[in-house]
Amino acid sequence: MGSRFDITIVAKDSLTAEKSIDAVIAEVTRIEYLISDWKPETQISEVNRMAGIAPVKVTPEVFALTERALCLSKITKGAFDISFAAMDRIWKFDGSMEEMPSPEAVKKSVEKVGYQNIVLDKKNSTIYLRKKGMKIGFGALGEGYATDRCRDLMLARGIPAGIVNGSGDMSTWGQQPDGSDWMIGITNPVDRDSLFAVVPLKQSAVVTSGSYEKFVEFNGKRYSHIINPATGYPSTGLTSVTVFGPSAEVANGFSTSIMVLGKMKGLKLLKKYPAYSCIMITDDGEVVASPNLDMSQFVPEQ
């Protein structure tokens, strides 16, 4: 998936652990060949090639994932949009940008973005993109979906505990061999070499979205690499958002959306989904937690 996956397995012996890790790798690879939008042989690539031409029949698994992504696009009113893949990459976060893009260029960059133009036919299991040049992509959900699937696979195989971490999209289950909870570190966005806090997790998922690695600054204002698909402008105001909950797929969708929505709208969104909680760090260093997050479990890093 173009991302690093770290796999930790608790098993009765090394052979079982190795076989389990191989099974996780095979599952991640299987999912990649279903949903990647840069491998030409995948179903999603075929959907994108047929944009504006005809619907494409996909497997029930791909259809269900697309359906959930479209639902997330709707509930966030486009702050999350699976058709972001068609966005022109006019913002550069490699140090080469010297000035803001023109308003005209920004507007043009999102002309083919719009979840409203995705048509799903459940009866026939087809996906159709109404506009030629439209694309859908699972860059903001794929790793989370894969880690959730791998966790479920390991539980079904009787593996009592482990962590599958897909580039920061983390699904955990069970406990460490000594009976203690898994301890997850949250990166300090001010100093990436240190941790903001350590939090115990069990049978849970955690995902962090942040602008502390990729951003540009103009006139003292930080612009994140996470772009608002509705406007074409980068998100501002939040440096990082960490979301906790039962599913890494959903947590990833929420963390990305909240980066775009900002502090107040983000808290309002999450309030409707009490199984999920979050902690945000604003551009000026303020730490904000959703009311349902138990901060007493956090261990400040020394």
Q: Binding site for Mg(2+): which residues?
A: 140, 256
Which secondary structure element, helix H or strand E, spans residue 243, and what is its range? strand 238-245
State the DSSP H helix or E strand holding residue 250, giving kind and residue range, or none if neither.
helix 248-261
For residue 158, give both structure tokens: 């009787």
Residues contacting residue 9 through CB under 8 Å, at least 6 positions apart: 17, 20, 21, 24, 154, 159, 161, 162
Distance (Å, whole) CA 24 – CA 18: 10
Structure tokens at 199: 């939090």
Q: Which residues are annotated as a binding site?
A: 140, 256
Q: CA 124, CA 159: separation in Å to the nearest integer?
A: 37
Check: CB of residue 82 under 8 Å from CB of residue 73.
yes
CA 258 to chain centre: 11
